[in-house]
Structure 1
Amino acid sequence: MTDPLAFLAGGGEAAGMIRARDWSGHPLGAPETWPAEFRAALSLVLNSPESMILAWGPDLHFFFNDTYFPLLGPRLSWAMGARFDAVWADAWAQAKPIIDAAMAGRSERFVDLPWQLDTDRGARETWWTFSYSRVLDAEGRVAGLFILTSETTGRVLADAALKESQAALEAALGELRDLNGTLAQQVEERTADRNALWTLSSDMMLRCRFDGTITAVNPAWTEVLAWRPDELVGTTLMDLVHPDDLPRTIDGARRLSGGERLARFDNRYRHRDGSYRWISWAAQPGEGVIAAVGRDFTAERARAVALAAAEEALRQSQKMEAVGQLTGGLAHDFNNLLAGISGSLELIQTRLGQGRVMDVDRYITAAQGASRRAAALTHRLLAFSRRQTLDPKPTDANRLVAGMEDLIRRTVGPSVVVEVRSAAGLWPALVDPPQLENALLNLCINARDAMPEGGRITVETTNAWLNERAARRHDMAPGQYLSLCVTDTGTGMPPEIVNRVFEPFFTTKPQGEGTGLGLSMIYGFAQQSGGQVRITSQVGQGTTVCLYLPRHRGAVAEEVPQAGIGAPPRAAPGETVLVVDDEPTVRMLVTEVLEDLGYTAIEAADSGGGLRVLHSDVRIDLLVTDVGLPGGMNGRQMAEAGRVKRPGLKVLFITGYAEAAVFGKGPLDPGMQVLTKPFVVEVLGARIREMIGTA
């Protein structure tokens, strides 16, 4: 079935805003009904890296792309689809004559036009270069207005600053210009002025050839850098430039030799004592020479660096506050869970002593439930800290979403409509499928909770190719990503809440109804997978949370039907497993599971004992080992040392988190797998049988 909104593909966040808006009652109607000319023009705008606007219909309803976002300031949240005269009400008197002329066929281009612009930080004076042109439909009627715009404020201000600098330095740089003075007295006066400025100025003045050879410097060089003019004339300017700044300085000289003026150019020059000073230059080319004036701003830069350090210290303080919240919440939740486990064990002991075995099953069930909740909490904490054990595999997100659709519908209930939009040709991702499923289910549950009266959840997959500008906006590296977005029509959140939702233990739910780890877990999972998670929300209009995962170039394996869960198959005669773990309880439990399944189990409490067994002639079909071990080496190092004598030794690492010892060297070798603690007995038995192979 053809997607009626396919023209929005690749349109970024702006396209998402169009999809998310309720168009009922809008003069243009629903996007599915928009004319072909409108959809084609809008697709061009949305996919352009340049800042573009499309205004459509007699009322000029306003549409824009991602690159235009910064221009809208406080209008961004409501401008999509609004009337042009409403979006730019404060500049309508200036804009309307230009628009009327363009709609009449008199397209215009304006260069460096001043414009008073409202932003989040108040009004400011800006300058713009833009063009207005009308858009005709298939029958030649005027259907809309197209605007291509770019802000030139920086260049205009730089030019103004350069002009002021040139005016102030006119006397100093005057001998480099052709002074067509007509009176000798005027020439002498100007020469005297120039000489006085050259001699008395505290700014460094320079004349050099395009190859960097210094032809003249004023006495200020001695004041700033302690070099005498006679020591510098005839030498190469580049010899004084800091090595790290040399490529930029050479490029600046190349630009000057091409006739370009530099309003400001900063680099470091070597003082006579070996230290370096930051100098800010204004320079212009002349006949075969470069004339430049520089000012020492080392002290100002040091103050800026100190300010940046203070800001970093503040961020670290905020991180420590978050850690305090994390540990406090962790202690509270784990104390509750431990109380359930220890209390159940005490009651089991009491009832067994009383001979009341009928009650034991109930207490065992309670203890197991608390253990599972503790394991889930631990996994969420590890995901938040990006230390959880992930098992990334090439994953088809469309297939994963389709497999979860029924579960999501049952979870959110009948009052919530679930819509799935799967992009054709979706790129695969290298990700842990169960963790991605967990993240998706968490997002859908959050969306349901934001719609107490019911509503709609949209799960959408798309391919996203982020250029440098879009990547900076998302705090990601440029490149290709697949995105998995969950959008609801719920209550939404104000910006101050959106800015905190990824903090540990922060929740908008009533006390006792949420741990505040759901979104922080998703954030940690996305970061650990090499991706990002981003959220947009507006009070009363719902929320969109998007997971961005890097594109995987490999193929995705075909789905294999899973066999039903049952008792693990038993061992073949003689099959032997070496168990290495420094925790006696874990070692005892694993050994008893193995013996119940018919395996011969050999135990070792540290890496040294395990390696001695591996270097012996005892039959070993599989090594089951913890990662963090005493004895001089960790579990992975022990396994690799054991493989020297036993090439192809199969190894199952059991670990509570992804220690650097396991994954610091990159992916695991063939024949090595990871199982996360705590684990279900049946899962352990099945994994051992799978790794050893069918007897």
Structure 2
Amino acid sequence: MQHRAGSSSSQARTGMPLGSEVRLELATRAAGLGIWDWNVLDGTFDYSPRAREICGLPPGDEPLRLEQVQARTHPHDLPRTHGLLLRALDPQIRESASYEYRVVHPDGQVRWVVAYGQALFAPVDGEVRAVRYIGTLQDVSQWRQLREALETSQARLQLAIEAGRMAVWEVDLRTETMVGSPELNRLLGFPEDATPTMEQMRAGYPVGERERLHARMVEALARGERFVECELRYVWPGGEQRWLLLRADIRVEDGQPARMMGVLMDITDRRRAEDALRASEARLKLAQRVGRIGVWEWELPSGDARWSREMYLLFGLDPDAGITPDEAWRAGVYPEDRVGVDKAVRQSTESGQPVDIEFRIRANGETRWILSKGTPVTDSDGRRRMIGVNQDVTGAHRERIALEDRNRALQEAALQIGRERERVFELSRDLFAVAGFDGYFKVVNPSWTRILGYEPDALLARPFLDFIHPQDRGSADAVLACLRRGHVAPPFENRMQCEHGGWRWIAWTAVAEHDRIYAVGRDVTQEKLAAQELEAANRQLRDQIESRERVEATLRQMQRLEAVGQLTSGVAHDFNNLLTIVLGNLDLIEMSVEEPRVRRRLELMRQAALRGATLTSQLLAFSRRQRLEPKAIDLNGTVHGMGELLRSTMGGSVAVATRLQQALWSALVDPTQIELVILNLAINARDAMPVGGSLTIETANVTLEAEPRQPGEPAPGDYVAISVIDSGTGMDEDVRARAFEPFFTTKGVGKGSGLGLAQVLGFAQQSGGGVRIESRPGAGTTVRVYLPCAQAGAAVKEEAPDDHAHAEPLAQRRFALLVDDDSAVRDVTAMRLRRLGFEVLEAGSGGAALDLLDRMEQVDLLIADFAMPGMNGVEVAQQARARRPELPVLFVTGYADQTALAGVGEERVVQKPFRDDELERKVRAVIGG
């Protein structure tokens, strides 16, 4: 800072001797540097004269403020320089780095400067702070211009290389190493990021190509040349062959080639174009020869002419015979045609327009037609020429004459067709019409009068929509809109009003051209009537087919039921015999055991056996082989009586409600089985509501008129319906279709036998009714059971209490003859009879029983198993009654065949396994107490 070199204050700030400052000032002036010193504490700047000159600040030695310095900084660079300043003054960072930015002089000149500064830190008020910031400035505008010019030059060079698709390369022939631009990999067929070796690059030379290239280089060096240029073939790694142009400069050291530098360009497209051009020229010569096209050239005004070989051949002359074009022309062209050709050529020459003319020649004694086309051209020296081609068009000329003859014949035929179409238009039984988009007919044929009764004038005077049925006008408007858009209208039908007031169905086909609509209509009224009759017949046929399908579905269901029934009947007897043995022996053991834990175990065994009996009962009910006792009952009373049982079965999470119809008809059903049905459906509904819900029992009088649509549904008639409605998960179509299948269940393993709904269906159908299910997923399920009505006036029977449930043994000694082929069942049954006071005679077959009956004088009761080998229980009873007509008979059975026991009252049949005191009660009933 020359202007303050002698100032003591300056010495105090910098701590430098005066001589050092002078030397520093001289050094900075020589280097073109400016120096600045910022006193951070008072915010003043000292700028050297060079620094002020660089920044465009006014000369002088007065201190500067920060605002003055920032005012000279380019606005776009100010945020960045300010951020760097804060980092330099931060005691934690203390960044000292050079940075470039722009300054703006007062005259608008923009200069680039490089600033370098370093902050001095000292304690101030107990805190380390920046107290001074000293640095240098250098004007680098000229250097930046040179750098930008260099970058621009390099960019242009790179652009030229990229535009020319050239690769720059250098090879050291002594070390056999190569470096090249990125484009080199693309030209040699390698990936952009690959680094191929010399061996990999040499592998692309076809056989002999590398040797040819080396020979060219040796020849150039022998001639004293250092530049080599040649085209070569190269095969990419994928097998594709390319053509490359090599241009190289050879550097020689110690008399030997040492290095090569140059460029490589892909000229494959150019080579292919040249090959295509040569092939095209060859094809052109071939085409001229095959197509008999001759080329000629005529100079004006000298009249000198040159002909190709094909021209002589066109005229039937030998090209090598030495005949001049003028001689050939005069000898070959018809004289009358030559005059016209000469005139056309002169006119073309004067106007500069091409000539196109046909003429006749005589070649080899035959007349031929030649098409000549020529164009006048003027050379650079002013000479005028006519260049053209001649082609033999004799065949085309003859075809054109024939075509003209055919066209005349076709025109005559078209006139005849027009006359015939006019005749068809007049005589056709279809409706022909031409209409405009203004909505009026323009032309109609006589069929309109014949079919609809209107005269043509009446049709043309009114809008055609007036003749269309009001219900069909919407579709007619849609067709008109389609035709207005230029689209093809599909065939359509509508009703047209007759003059006498009726309607006719017309099938239309219409097209539009310009502003006209051309339409043809056919009367299809009779077809419509026939179609309606056919549709009615089809509906009747579909109804018959659906009815047959329902019958077939019902038959298939019955066949399945029959199959399960046969299976059930085969095992029911034996299974019930086993349960009879189990339950009977449990009774005996229970009578002799007082230990509570043992009795509890015995009770569990009893419950298990009873569940087995219930399962057998369900199977029999499903297969309709269980014996029912239908009675006239009041279903409302049955539901009331089951209220407490249903609420306890549902638990606290399911609300139970009833909707019972007043004046409900009596139902003719088995009272015990209907309670099981209601309970079964309620349990199914509870399982479908795992998180709770509502259950409703509903009764109603129902009269059905429609035929059943699904197997299991009731036939038309009067029914008493009881419905179980839940708010559970519901069923989808597949589950609902299979709901009545035996053993089908959606419950988990061990949670259902799959016989609940099957038992309900079996009971309803055996009683003379049916079942319907209404359900949707998430919307709950309604199972509606239809039961037959009791006859009018039938009394509703109440079950009498069982007065003999715990009666004492018989007062007098009685004898019972027990017949059963199963000894264990016999033993249990005999035990129960002895408890009643009977003396029991046991027989294992029907024959043995009849022998005992013949030997014993006193037999008070015959108890026979129904299903026995050889002679069943009914046959034993018949023969026993033949011997002793007054002998009471009681049947025990595990499977009550309804046909065989049709004449036996329910009071004389005991179902195995014996439940509670049913055997004792019925024994007392048949022997009179």
TM-score norm. by structure 1 comes to 0.48
TM-score norm. by structure 2 comes to 0.37
Q: Which has the higher contact order (CA 8 A, sep 6+)?
A: 1
